[in-house]
Structure formats: C-alpha cells, structure tokens
Chain A
Amino acid sequence: MLPYVLKRFAVAILVAITVSMITFSMIYLSGDPALALAGETATEADIENIRRVYGYDRPIVVQYLDWLYRAVQGDFGQSHYLKKPVSEVIFERLPTTMLLGFCALVFALTLSIPLGVLAAIRPNSLIDRVALTIAVVGQAMPSFWFALIMMLWLGIYWRLLPITGTDSWANFVMPSIALGYYITPAVMRLTRAGMLEVLSTDYIRTARAKGLRPMTVLFKHALRNAIIPVVSLAAVQFGFMLGGSIVIETIFAINGLGFLAWESIQRADLPMMQAIVLVLSVFYIVLTFLADMLNAWLDPRIRVG
C-alpha cells in the first residue's frame, strides 16, 4: 500500500501547486489588481500606494513565490477591506461552512444510501421508481430555488424553522437539506448500481448458501463491497458541495466561508478572494486524497497486496 500512498501524495502536491499558480494569476484578469483594490474613486497616488503596499510592482514570479511562501505558512496578507489578516477571517468563518457541509453530507447519505439499497433489492418496484424520481427531480432543480421554496413553506407559511442566521441547530436544517439534496441523486444512483452488481455475484450466492440471515448478507457482505466506489464519489461530491455552498449561505445569511467569498467578490477584496479559492481547492485535494486512501484501505486487494 505504501507506494500507492506515496504516488498519490506526490500527485496531490503537484496539483496543489498548479492550482496555486492559477489562483494567483486570477487576480490579473481584471488588468491591474491595484486598480481593482483601490476602487473607482481612488486617485493616482492611492493606487500607487496600494501597489507598493501589496507588492504588485514586483515581477510576477517574485510575487507568486512570495505569496506561495507565505500562504504555506498560513499568511495570506491583509484584507484590504476588513483591515484584518485574511487568514484570521477565514479561520473564523471556516468552521461554520464545515459544519454546514458536514450536516448536508449526513443528510445526503442518510437519504441516498438506504434508498439506493432498497431500490436495488426491489428493482422496478414502487420504491425503485420513487428513488429514481427523487434522483431525477434533484438533478433538475436549481438549488437556490429549492432553498427559497423551502424557506417560503417551512420558514414563512408554516413557521417551522428559522430562515436566517446561525443561532441554533434549527438554523442548519434547511440549508443542510438544500445543500445535501445537490449530491443525493449521484450517490443514490451509484449505490443502487453498485448493489445491483454486487448482489448478482457468486460470493453473495455463497453467503446465502451458508444460511446467513438476509440482513447479514445485505449489509455485511453486499453493501460492504458496493460502498467502496460510493466513498470516493461522496468525497468528490462533498468538495463540489463546499464550492456550491456560496449560494446557500447567501440565501440563509449563514456566516461561513461561502458568504465571505461572496462579500469579498462584491468588494473586490482580492487577497481574500485568492485565499478562499486556494483554501477550498486545497481542502478538496486533501479530501480526494483521503478518499483515495480510504478506498484503498477498504479493498483488501490494494491494502494487503
């Protein structure tokens, strides 16, 4: 397993570096970053000042290396708008987004895996149709619209849940559902397909021939094998979800990283924007790396070799 781990790790590092290069160069899309930061009402002197303070007058490669060097140590510079270190702000808001993402993931898995399993053991039955309908509807519905509709019904008309803020656990219910619903279809379909395939294997037949109880066959033997690709998919989808949390957070006014990203884009707070994209990307890279490791560990053929 070790050579596998090392190889994956090396690739992850390379990808992270490439992403950092892209992220860094993003701020030059608008032309002059100093101009963008300074805003429209700034004078020549202001702009020049900003350029010097942020080091935009240096050669690009130097700027990049300097930025990267500091970023690796957790220093992303100062937020031009908030006058605070970027990393401080990010770490303030990161836990909220992580919590939201985690809740959404739990919701999605709790809904999609059992549904996928049930659909697999009763193919073309009612439960299968219901599961597929949920998948089809989930893939077609814009997440922000779904969030608004939920807000309207659960929050306003029926007054069941609070619609903004992060005061209590109830605030996280609707956002988690809205965000989690995004990945439910893919996970459910994969679980169903995987279970269908596994249930027709010889080793399941052997398990039944041994007189094991149906639940044992289903969960200990079948799901254990079918879940392996689902783990990878869930990790990848979790990463997508975090990227998409920006929409949900702005709707529900949840003070997480997504909302912060939204604010910094509005304010052209370039250092903040850069940092958030990089942090999320690195997080995604770490996530997929861990998912790969988990995947490999779950399959004894890779783990033991």
Chain B
Amino acid sequence: MAVSDITPGTTSGALVMEPSPRALLRRRIFGHAGLVIGAFVLISIVLMALLAPYIAPHDPLDQVLDRKLIPPIWSGSDKATWTFPLGTDHFGRDYLSRLIWGARISLMIGVSAMLISGVIGTTIGVLAGYFGGRVDMVANFIITTRLSMPVVLVALAVVSMVGSSLTVVIWVLGLLIWDRFAVVMRSATMQVRNLDFVASAQALGCSTARIVLSEILPNVANHLIVVATIEMAHAILLEAALSFLGLGVQPPEPSWGLMISEAKGLMFFDAWLIAIPGTALFLLVLSINLLGDGLRDVTAPEGRN
C-alpha cells in the first residue's frame, strides 16, 4: 500500500473520524450479519408459509365463540392455554394458525406484485436506458406521471370500484409500484450501455434483443435483485395497509393487516391482538430489507447508503 493511497483529499482531520481498520472490518461483518439474519428469518417465514397446512394447529377460519379472546400464554392469565399459544381472537379463532396462514397471504402478494411490477418497470427502464433519446423521454414522462399519482389513494379507489380480492390487489399493486424498478434499471442500463463489451456486441451485429438479454441484463442483475427486495417489502406493507382499511384481502382471510384492523377496537384491553400480527409484519419486512441491503453491500459496496 503506497502513500499515494492516503490521498490528502480525504483530510477532514479531526472533523471526520475515518474508520480504523478494525472498524472497517466490523462494518463488513455487520453488513454480512444483516444478510445472514435477513435471509434466515425470511426463509423461516417462507417455510412456515409453505408448511402451513401441516404445522398450523387449528383451522384459521374456525370460529368457536365460547373460546373467544383467550390471551396468549405469556400473559399470565389463567384462561391462557397451550392449546392456543398465541391466544384467540374475538371469533374464537386460533391466532397462531391465523398468523401462520397469514404469512402465505403476505408472501404471495409480495412476490406476485414484485414480479409484475418488476417486469413492467424493468422493461421500461432498460429500454429507456438502452435506447436513450426519444424513448428515454417518453419513458421519463410515463414515470413522472406515475410518480405524481398517490399510490394508496389510487389503489383504494380502484379496488373499491373493481371489487377486492387477492387477485385484484396483486394486479393493482403490481401496476402501481413499478416506478423504482424503472428508475434504477434505467440508470444501471445507462451505465452499462457505454461499456466496451456492448459496443463490441453491436459491432458484431447482434440483434438488440440479444444484446439486452445477454449483455445488459446480467450486468444490471445485482441492482435488479436489490430493487426487487425493496418492492416486495413495499407491496407487503401496501397490502397490509389496504387490508387494514378494509379494501384489501377480505374477511375471513387471515391477512395480517386485516387482523390488525379487526382488533383495532379491542386493542385497549387485548393488545396482543395487534401486537402479534404487527410484529410479524415488521419482522417479515425487516428481514427482506436486511437481505436486500446485505445483497447490495456484497455486490456493489460503493452504492451503500
């Protein structure tokens, strides 16, 4: 390591504490810890969702009113029982089972909406970044228009008019949240586009489609994955908000957002009714975000923060 690596340009002296080598190492581990923890939690939730029919102790839709509002086992109440470790809601439905099945809904919506918006946004972004010029102008216009419309409001309005179901919610979200894909893919494509290997592919006479698919896409894939995680988390939170407002997944489905909404009136005395699904949402979104951050650190650390 030569002296010229310590560029005088980085002197802010006592003003900025530059990280010592140990701090840098700590940062790398911290970054990887996020990735590992995020991946671990996410995979656990995915497994939980996939194995729902086998691991859920009860039927999540099964209403038995005489066993309603049983507190969870940590509450110390004598009504609590291991039969219903997370308690029951106001219809006597087992909360643990609803939680497990609810993971399916969140994940399904998250993944589907992310895929739809991913396809739309990436197409727009890559085309804009690759062709530039008028195509770029049109794409930017479309993106700006989409950005000007309030997502939650439009989603609510559309769902209210078309009717709310899982499919509708997925499609509405997918058709609304593609903007970040478009913006990020556009700039990533623009950066890659001017590199030499693209020019040589063009010189060889490769078709545009071929260039985009085999030269551009693999090199912007790391950005794509990071945005995918962000938008998946975004979709999950949006669905939760929509269901909370009553215009997402409909009862009696155990959407976590819906569970919180149903428990709103009861939360003063039975706080676990909102604490449990809320924490589940938080953990799911957190793990996805950590995974995304970790992936970005690993693939392109200069883009950190």
Consider the complex of A and B and state whether they touch directly, i.e. have CB atoms less than 8 Å apart.
yes
Binding site for B on A (CB under 8 A): 11, 14-16, 18-19, 22-23, 26-27, 29-30, 36, 120-125, 136-137, 139-145, 148-149, 152, 156, 189, 192-193, 199-202, 204-205, 208, 214, 217-218, 236, 239-240, 242-244, 246-247, 250, 261-262, 265-266, 268, 273, 276-277, 280-281, 284-285, 288
Minimal beta-carbon separation of B286 from chain A (angstroms)? 4
One of B67-75, B92-100, B143-151 at the interface: B143-151
Given contacts A29-B158, A261-B153, contact A22 B8 (CB under 8 A): no
* Seed contacts A242-B150, A244-B152; 9 additional CB < 8 Å A-B pairs: A142-B282, A144-B257, A145-B274, A149-B275, A149-B278, A156-B268, A247-B152, A247-B241, A280-B150
B151: chain A residues at CB < 8 Å are 240, 243
The 4 closest A-B pairs by CB, nearest first: A243-B150, A30-B161, A140-B286, A145-B278
Binding site for A on B (CB under 8 A): 8-19, 23-24, 26-27, 141, 144-145, 147-154, 156-158, 160-162, 233, 237, 240-241, 244-245, 247, 257, 260, 264, 267-268, 271, 274-275, 278, 281-282, 285-286, 289-290, 293, 305
- The residue that B160 contacts in the complex, of A145, A193, A217, A268, with Cβ under 8 A, is A268
Q: Can you list 22 residue pairs at the A/B interface with Cβ under 8 Å?
A: A137-B286, A140-B282, A142-B260, A143-B241, A144-B240, A148-B267, A152-B267, A152-B268, A199-B12, A204-B12, A205-B8, A214-B14, A239-B148, A244-B152, A244-B241, A246-B153, A246-B156, A262-B156, A266-B160, A268-B160, A277-B157, A280-B150
Q: How far is the CA of A199 from the CA of B17 in the complex (A)?
A: 11
- The residue that A152 contacts in the complex, of B161, B271, B293, with Cβ under 8 A, is B271
Contact B286 A136 (CB under 8 A): yes
Q: How far is the CA of A280 from the CA of B162 in the complex (A)?
A: 22
Contact A123 B16 (CB under 8 A): yes
Given contacts A145-B260, A204-B12, A243-B150, contact A262 B161 (CB under 8 A): no
Contact B268 A142 (CB under 8 A): no
Q: How far is the CA of A201 from the CA of B9 in the complex (A)?
A: 6
Contact A144 B244 (CB under 8 A): yes
Q: Identify the interface centre among A123, A204, A208, A280: most chain B CB within 10 Å of its CB.
A: A123
Minimal beta-carbon separation of A199 from chain B (angstroms)? 5
B158: chain A residues at CB < 8 Å are 26, 29
Given contacts A189-B305, A277-B157, contact A22 B149 (CB under 8 A): yes
B281: chain A residues at CB < 8 Å are 142, 145
Q: How far is the CA of A84 from the CA of B27 in the complex (A)?
A: 60
Contact A36 B152 (CB under 8 A): no
Given contacts A140-B233, A142-B237, A200-B12, contact A14 B161 (CB under 8 A): no
B150: chain A residues at CB < 8 Å are 239-240, 242-244, 277, 280-281, 284
Q: How far is the CA of A208 from the CA of B13 in the complex (A)?
A: 9
Given contacts A124-B26, A199-B16, A281-B150, contact A11 B260 (CB under 8 A): no
A218: chain B residues at CB < 8 Å are 15
Q: How far is the CA of A193 from the CA of B233 in the complex (A)?
A: 23
Q: How far is the CA of A276 from the CA of B289 in the complex (A)?
A: 32
Closest residue of chain A to B244 (Cβ to Cβ) is A144
Contact B16 A148 (CB under 8 A): no
Minimal beta-carbon separation of B23 from chain A (angstroms)? 5
Minimal beta-carbon separation of A247 from chain B (angstroms)? 6
Contact B162 A29 (CB under 8 A): yes
Minimal beta-carbon separation of A257 from chain B (angstroms)? 10
B240: chain A residues at CB < 8 Å are 142, 144
Closest residue of chain B to A31 (Cβ to Cβ) is B161
Contact A200 B157 (CB under 8 A): no
Contact B152 A246 (CB under 8 A): yes
Q: How far is the CA of A145 from the CA of B236 in the complex (A)?
A: 14
Q: Identify the interface centre among A125, A148, A156, A236: most chain B CB within 10 Å of its CB.
A: A148
Q: How far is the CA of A121 from the CA of B19 in the complex (A)?
A: 11
